[in-house]
Amino acid sequence: MNLLVVGASYRTAPVAILERLAVAPNDLTPILDRLLAQPYVGEAVVLSTCNRVEVYAAVSGFHGGLGDICAVLAEQAGTPAGELAAHLYVHYESAAVEHAFRVASGLDSMVVGEAQILGQLRDAYHAASAADTAGRLLHELLQQALRVGKRAHAETGIDRAGQNVVTAALDVAATHLDGGLAGRPALVVGAGAMGALSVATLSRREVAPLAVTNRGADRAARLAEAYGATAVPLADLTDAVSTVDIVVAATASTEPVLTRDVVSRALARREPGRGPLVLLDLAVPRDVEPGVGELPGVVVVDIDTLAAGLAEGPAASDAEAVAQIVSGEVEAFLTWLRGADVAPTVAALRGRADDVVTAELRRLNQRRPDLTDDQRAEVARTVHRVVQRLLHSPTVRVRQLAAEPGGDQYAALLRQLFDLEVPQTSPVDVVPDLHRSGPEQAPGGDR
C-alpha cells in the first residue's frame, strides 16, 4: 500500500467549495465507509476543518486510488469530479508524509503556527480509528505527525504569538470598530471547540459583556459560566444580536444561522448611531447567509476574507526552524517505511528456506530410517543453524540497503533471484490537471 493525500484548502478553493466538501461530525463515519468501499483504498482518515478538507489514504495504486477518492469527494460536494479537480491538491508517498507533518506543525495553516490543527488532526485520527478505517500505515503516519507537531511547538517559537484563526479575525474586526475591541459587547454563536476558543480569546481581549448561545443550551451554559459570560437561548438570537457590536459564529450547522432576516430584524432593534455590526463567520459551511454583508451597517469577515488579507504573523519567523524539523522527520519516516516495505520480502525468503529444510529433512527420514530420534534432531538443528547463518548477513544487509533512497530495488532483486511470492503495489500513473506532488514531481507544498 502507498500513501496518498487528496484535499482542498483555503489555498486552492474558495469557501463556497470548502463548505460543500465539509464533513459534519455525524457524516464522518459514512464517508470513511464509502472511501473504504472503493477498490483501491485500503485505509482512510478524513480531516475536515474551517479551512481544509483532506483525505489521507493508503492505496494500492496511485491512479486508481486518486480516482476513487476524487469520486467520493465529488459525491460529497455534489460537484462533477472534473470541476472539483481544479481545487484539489494531491501528495503521494514522500510528499504525502511531508504534507502531513507540515499540517501538524502549523506550517500549512492560514495562521502560521496555530496549534488548533493538532487537536483537529488528533480528532480525525481518533474518528478513523473508531470506525476501523485506519490501518497500520495510517496509524504510523498520524501518530508520527502528531508527535512532529508537538515537537515543532515545543522546540521553536512558531506559536509564541498565540495566533489562531480567531485572533486573526478579531484583528480584522478591530479595524472596523473605533477604539478597538475592549469594552465592546459580543456574542458567540456555537459552543464547540471553535466556539470555546472564541470565548476564551474574547475574554482575554477584554471584550465585554460577553454572551454565548448554542443549539444545546446546557453546553452554552457551561461555557458561559467558565468565562463569566451570559448564556442566551438560541430562540432569542435576534435580540442578542441587536445588543452587541461583534458576533463570532462558529457552529457545526449545515444551514446558515445568521440569516438575512435575523440580521435585518436585529439591525432594526439596534440603538441609532451604534456603529457597524461586525459578523465573524468562522464556520464551514458558513453560518452567515450570503447577502447579509450587503445590509447597511454590517461587516462580514469570513474565511475567504482572512485568506485574502491575512499577513504572516510573528510566528512565521520560526517557520524555517520548523521546516528543518519536518525535513529531518520526513526522512526518518521514509527510512522506516522503506525498511517496513522490505520486511515481507525477508520474511518470504526465510519462509522459503524453512520449506526447503523441511522437505530435505523429510527426504532424509525416508532414506535413513535407521537414524535414532536424537540423531534426527541433531541433523535438523545443524541444517537449520547452517541456513540461518547463511541468510543472516544478506537479510541484515538488504534491510540496511532498503533504508537508503532507491533501496526498494534490492528487495525486488531478492524476489527475482529466489522467485518469492510477495504481494506488490500497483504501478503509479500520472494524473493531469491537479495541484500535486505526485510520482513525477518533487515533494512540495500545495500551491
Domain with CATH 3.30.460.30 in the chain: 2-161+430-437
Write down the pLDDT at residue 225.
93
Does residue 209 have a cis bond before it (omega within 30 degrees)?
Answer: yes
Percent of the chain residues past pLDDT 70, beyond the cut: 88
How buried is residue 362: exposed, middle or buried, by Cβ count under 10 Å (0-12/13-18/19+)?
A: exposed
pLDDT over threshold 50, residue 429: no
Q: List 6's β-bridge partners, or say none.
A: 55, 90
What's the alpha-carbon Rg for the chain, to the nearest Å?
A: 28
- The larger pLDDT score, comparing residue 261 to residue 440, is at 261
Question: What are the two backbone dihedrals, phi and then psi, of residue 251, each rounded to the nearest 5 degrees?
Answer: -100, 175
* Residue/partner pairs of 74-82 with CB below 8 Å, 24 or more apart: 75/34, 76/20, 76/21, 76/23, 76/31, 77/17, 77/20, 77/21, 78/20, 79/17, 79/20
8 A C-beta contact, residue 304 and residue 19: no
State pTM to two decimals.
Answer: 0.69
70 is catalytic: no
Which of 163-167, 256-260, 309-313 is the least confident region? 309-313
Residues in CB range of 85: below 8 A, 6 or more apart = 70, 433, 434
Cα dist. 284→63, 173, 352 in Å? 29, 19, 55
pLDDT over threshold 90, residue 154: no
Q: Tens of pLDDT along 380-415?
A: 999 988 988 888 888 877 777 776 666 667 777 878
Percent of the chain residues past pLDDT 90, beyond the cut: 48
Q: pLDDT-derived band of residue 244, with 50, 70 and 90 as boundaries?
A: very high
pLDDT over threshold 70, residue 443: no
pLDDT over threshold 60, residue 161: no
Q: pLDDT-derived band of residue 425, with 50, 70 and 90 as boundaries?
A: very low
Write down the pLDDT at residue 423.
57
The whole-number average pLDDT for the span 177-182 is: 88
User: What is the CATH topology of the domain spanning 2-161+430-437?
Assistant: Beta Polymerase; domain 2 (3.30.460)
Domain 165-312 has CATH 3.50.20.10: no
Q: Residue 92's Cα: distance from chain center in Å?
A: 14
Write down the pLDDT at residue 163.
65
| Cell reading at 47 | 480531516
Angle (nearest 5°) at CA 143 between 138 and 146: 125
Q: Tens of pLDDT along 264-278?
A: 999 999 988 888 999
Q: Can you say whether residue 105 is alpha, beta or left, with left for phi > 0 and alpha for psi between -120 and 50 degrees? A: alpha
Which of 123-127, 135-139, 360-364, 435-439 is the least confident region? 435-439
Identified catalytic residue from 32, 36, 50, 100: 50
8 A C-beta contact, residue 43 and residue 1: yes
Mean pLDDT over each residue of the chain, to the nearest integer? 85
Angle (nearest 5°) at CA 210 between 209 and 212: 150
| Cell reading at 424 | 506488490
Write down the pLDDT at residue 426.
34
pLDDT over threshold 80, residue 433: no
- Measured between its terminal Cα atoms, the distance across the chain in Å is 26
Which of 31-45, 140-154, 299-313, 428-442 is the least confident region? 428-442
Domain with CATH 3.40.50.720 in the chain: 165-312
